[in-house]
Structure 1
Amino acid sequence: MSPLTETVLFVFSLVALGYLAGFTGYLRPASGEGISDFAVSVAMPLLLFQTMVNADFHGVAPWSLWGAYFAAVAITWAAGHLVTTRFFGRDARAGVVGGVSSAYSNVVLLGAPFILGIFGPSGFEVLSLLVSVHLPIMMMASIVLFEMFGRSGSEPMHPLRIIRSFLRRLFINPLIIGILAGLAWRLSGVPLPDLAMRLVDALADTAGPVALFAMGLSLRRFGISGNVRPALALSVLKLFLMPALVLVFVWLLGLPPLTAKVAVVIAALPSGINSYLIAVQFNTGQALASNQMTIATACAAVTTAFWLTVVLHVF
């Protein structure tokens, strides 16, 4: 078995173990929420803090990376919105859910351990550059679209309310706090004390497996409850259109090989829980978002391996 195949199987086996733990009742749903909270609020922020303190970003082109990735996000989001509203006859609010489900990759629970396993710390440094802007941009887009489509037509959209809501959510997000704290410590030039470094390393090392296990538990909690055809259509957009677009853009912009590989693989990942949370906030499309997340994740074990093979040949 090749190292690439073994890593892909290892990553998705951890997700499957989490799913089985929930499916068999070995762990209660409340346990899944606690494990997810630990992964997102403690382990992953410390991993990002560790990366920002120690990383060497030489050779990475962030503006080209961001431009290539988010151009693909915008096109895929628009396609998901149109598929949901035009082909399946859903309203504009459900169209927003369809759009975000098509374009919001699971960059934290699945992406971070996956990139670490495939490309190592250097690949995770590239991912960190993407995470640092992925959350703010996707959050801002979601909030703006919620204001546009989630309220009655007679109620005006208030820019100050949008900005206030965005900033509040941004600066209380543990991942953003981890990134900013790591950058601040890096700029200070002060080395971390040995005890603090050991604590950070110990908790950061748990981020990957805990995040993958929590992802599996989440899939069991949401399950599939209808809307299968639109969920399948949106999964095709997420798993094929978006990585194909990123592949074209990074090739046209001439990004360094490692940066290009990470960008395409992240684009090829399935949707995460954020698409479902946005659906809950809109109070529409919850089944669509949860079904799409479950179907896309189940298919991603094969499709991600396909895109990995493609980028290793192209770059």
Structure 2
Amino acid sequence: MGSLTALEKLVPVVLAFGCGALLARRKAVSADSSRAFADYAFLFAVPCYLFGNIYGSDLGALFDWRAILAYATTAALAVLAVAALAGLRGVRDPRGVALRIMAGVQVNTAYFAVPVFITLFGDAAPVFPVLLFQVCVLTLVVVSVMELGGPAGGRAAAPGGRTLLRAVGASLATPVVLACNAGILLNLLSVHVPKAALDAFSFVGDSASPVALFALGLHLGGSGLSIRGTTREEIALVGFKCVVFPLMAWAVCGAVFGVGGDWLRYLVLIAAMPAPQNLFLFAQRYDIGVDMSAALVIKSSVAALFLLPLWMQWAVHVG
């Protein structure tokens, strides 16, 4: 895949994202409405898309356990690397370390990877296993550290335990995760879902990609992007997320686990996606690193957009 072909495939992504940013900058559409568009995509359109596609997928091919284990190993190594770097920079608060791990290792799946994969490959199925791994493992770890690792970590065990269970339950009960699990369960049980229902899910799901990218553009256009105020730590975390982590995925998945072909391409591209939007939500909830988190979400998204054509070519060659 040449540079021109790669750029052509990204035109719809840039159009939806850029249009949102332009309209917000010109105040033709309120940047505050990005929350409504994002909620529609995350709570409704993306779950519809995920359910329909997982239900109709070959789960044996979708859940390539060697590829998933390879990606999980890469993520574990990346967690250790980010934690070590945070320690070297003098970050001692466990919540601060957890926030940086989330920024450097987790990827924006529902709002970025799913629409990009739909646009590039016509199918976001390879994102599903990584999405479930993130929610059921990585996010669970971050929630645990946030709840138990802060100044209030010495509070009574029972209330803290109940709060942790509620937070974990809320993560597992998000529409995206429920849609994935429902699709897997009905697929395994061979439960018949009427074609009219699947067509309806498909109709709504097709809007997930452009709406999610438009919402991200509105958010960027409204909040602005200050390059001049970027700190060294932000540069390091964005560089790790958008460059180092995908290189680690290529090395560990390809060289160590022997993953090749399409799955190696998919894993490298998934790893190259930006930091997740819920990084900012976690920072707000626990009142730590709010400004840094907002900057990392926006700047890693912009960096990922510029780097995607290069990663697409890289993925073709390494695959």
What is the TM-score when the length of structure 1 is the normalising length? 0.90
Do the aligned partners of 2:45 and 2:205 also contact (CA within 8 Å) in 1? Answer: yes
Aligned to 1:245: 248
The equivalences for 1:172-187 within 5 A come to: 172-187=173-188
Q: Deviations over 1:120-168 (max 9, x none)?
A: 33xx222222222222212201111113322335336668437623542
Q: What letter is aligned with 2:273? A: L
Segment drifting more, 33-42 vs 173-182: 173-182
Question: Residue 165 of structure 1: SS of its match in structure 2?
Answer: helix
Q: What letter is aligned with 1:195? A: A
Shift of 1:304: 2.2
Question: Residue 109 of structure 2: SS of its match in structure 1?
Answer: coil
Q: What letter is aligned with 1:298? A: V
Q: How much is the aligned-residue C-alpha RMSD, in angstroms? A: 2.4
Structure 2: runs of 5 or more not aligned:
none
The equivalences for 1:186-205 within 5 A come to: 186-205=187-206
Are 1:86 and 2:88 counterparts?
yes
With over 3 angstroms needed to count, the CA separation of the structure-2 counterparts of 1:220 and 1:77, relative to structure 1, is: farther
1:99 equivalent among 89, 98, 101: 101
Question: Residue 254 of structure 1: SS of its match in structure 2?
Answer: coil
Do the aligned partners of 1:41 and 1:175 also contact (CA within 8 Å) in 2? Answer: yes
Segment drifting more, 299-308 vs 75-84: 75-84
Aligned to 1:232: 235
Do the aligned partners of 1:227 and 1:288 also contact (CA within 8 Å) in 2? Answer: no
Q: What percent identity do the matched residue pairs reach? A: 22
- Taking the aligned partners of 1:94 and 1:185, their CA distance within structure 2 comes to 40
The equivalences for 1:207-226 within 5 A come to: 207-224=208-225, 226=229
Do the aligned partners of 1:228 and 1:291 also contact (CA within 8 Å) in 2? Answer: no
Aligned to 2:23: 21
The equivalences for 1:144-163 within 5 A come to: 144-152=144-152, 154-155=154-155, 160-161=161-162
With over 3 angstroms needed to count, the CA separation of the structure-2 counterparts of 1:218 and 1:104, relative to structure 1, is: farther
Are 1:3 and 2:18 counterparts?
no
Do the aligned partners of 1:279 and 1:286 also contact (CA within 8 Å) in 2? Answer: yes
Are 1:143 and 2:147 counterparts?
no
Are 1:73 and 2:75 counterparts?
yes
- Taking the aligned partners of 2:314 and 2:188, their CA distance within structure 1 comes to 38
Do the aligned partners of 2:136 and 2:172 also contact (CA within 8 Å) in 1? Answer: no
What is the TM-score when the length of structure 2 is the normalising length? 0.89
Aligned to 2:316: 312
Are 1:257 and 2:261 counterparts?
yes
Segment drifting more, 285-294 vs 33-42: 285-294
With over 3 angstroms needed to count, the CA separation of the structure-2 counterparts of 1:196 and 1:235, relative to structure 1, is: same
Do the aligned partners of 2:147 and 2:164 also contact (CA within 8 Å) in 1? Answer: no
Do the aligned partners of 2:99 and 2:279 also contact (CA within 8 Å) in 1? Answer: yes
With over 3 angstroms needed to count, the CA separation of the structure-2 counterparts of 1:171 and 1:82, relative to structure 1, is: closer
Q: What letter is aligned with 2:197? A: A
- Taking the aligned partners of 2:168 and 2:154, their CA distance within structure 1 comes to 26
Query: Across the two proteins, how many residue pairs are aligned to each other?
Result: 313
Do the aligned partners of 1:35 and 1:214 also contact (CA within 8 Å) in 2? Answer: yes
Do the aligned partners of 2:19 and 2:214 also contact (CA within 8 Å) in 1? Answer: yes
Do the aligned partners of 2:99 and 2:142 also contact (CA within 8 Å) in 1? Answer: no
Q: What letter is aligned with 1:10? A: P
Segment drifting more, 181-190 vs 242-251: 181-190
Shift of 1:257: 1.2
